Structure 1
Amino acid sequence: MNERAIEILRIIEENGRITIPTLAKMVDVTEEEVKDILQQLEDDKIILSYSAVIDWSKVDQQEGVTAVIDVKVTPQRGVGFDQVAERIYRFPEVKALYLMSGAYDLSVVIEGKTMSEIARFVSEKLSTIDTVISTTTHFQLKKYKHDGVVFEQGEQDRRIVVTP
């Protein structure tokens, strides 16, 4: 992969809505070249998706519950963690799944409407998988930063400090 493609990846990772003409000017190539590079990156499955970061807490009746579940599993001979990971990520509630180092093997991020919905997912779907040994669920209380985007940057106190 050449430096131009890497530069384009870095720019669109920061701003997926940037226009092709702007992107072409930023990396000093033609618009057609940018289109070709983007198409190749999509075909090679390097660019998987374009998405927006949304603060759902500001949308009435749309804020749900997000949980991070640490999962300890028994790896399977010949496939390691891949087979159980595939089984878990196929659940529609699962928004992200990572193989981790440390005390737990997998980190599962799920979203639901209520804590009860997440509890049902853990007890009825996740814990019933044969290779799952244990789970620990953490509920997200507040989102400060996600994908490099800071949520609710408070206004700075602009008063002048008065000292004697």
Structure 2
Amino acid sequence: MQLSEKELEILEILEHDSRLPLDSIAKMVDLSEKETKEVVEKLEGKKVIVQYSTDINWRRVDGHEGVTAMIDVKVTPKRGVGFDEIAERIYRFEEVKAVYLMSGTYDLSVTIEGKSMSQIANFVSEKLSTLDSVVSTTTHFIMKKYKHDGTIYEYDDDDKRIVVSP
């Protein structure tokens, strides 16, 4: 889909901060609020804008830390459908947050979230590894999130400058 310069500008603004009011976006791209709303609705209708989301730093909420794992999966693709069929079977599991087709040693990268490491281990051993096309898996647990989708999660606000006094 070919987009106009204004449409691309609106997408970049929304990607950075989807909570901006339409009137602010309209001013930024030099369109009326009505025109801006029409562009956004068009992009939503064409599934260019798929969803608006909120990034939450769950480490700061007591009792809601959870565990996130990235699983490298080697699969045997099926004739006629390639990797699409097995990828769809995997992304339909509730625990799965993302599935990507990758180049390199492994074919798919799967991101899942659970309440504990044992819950993720059960997912891998009872659900993922038992799928016919899955040849092998390697699980990596995320220990700490520093930056995600351009948002920095952990940084030190303390001023590290040396105090100089006369």
Q: TM-score range by the shorter chain?
A: over 0.9
User: Structure 2 matches for 1:7-156, cutoff 5 A?
Assistant: 7-155=9-157, 156=159
Question: Which residue is equivalent to 1:159?
Answer: 162
Superposition misfits of 4+ residues, deviation over 2 angstroms: none
- Preserved CA contact (<8 Å) 2:91 2:99: yes
Take 1:115 and 1:61, find their aligned partners in 2: how far apart are those partners? 15
Take 1:152 and 1:84, find their aligned partners in 2: how far apart are those partners? 36
Take 1:158 and 1:56, find their aligned partners in 2: how far apart are those partners? 30
Question: Which residue is equivalent to 1:6?
Answer: 8
User: Identity, % of aligned pairs?
Assistant: 61
Deviation track 1:82-126 (CA, whole Å, cap 9, x = no partner) reads 000000000010001100000000000000000000000000000
Take 2:68 and 2:128, find their aligned partners in 1: how far apart are those partners? 16
2:47 aligned counterpart, secondary structure: coil
Deviation track 1:54-74 (CA, whole Å, cap 9, x = no partner) reads 100001101100000000000
1:97 aligned counterpart, secondary structure: strand
TM-score (structure 1 length as normaliser): 0.96
Take 2:75 and 2:42, find their aligned partners in 1: how far apart are those partners? 37
C-alpha deviation, 1:81, in angstroms: 0.2
TM-score (structure 2 length as normaliser): 0.95
C-alpha deviation, 1:158, in angstroms: 1.8
- Give me the CA root mean square deviation: 1.0
Take 1:76 and 1:36, find their aligned partners in 2: how far apart are those partners? 42
Take 2:163 and 2:129, find their aligned partners in 1: how far apart are those partners? 56
- Segments of 5+ residues of structure 1 without an aligned counterpart are none
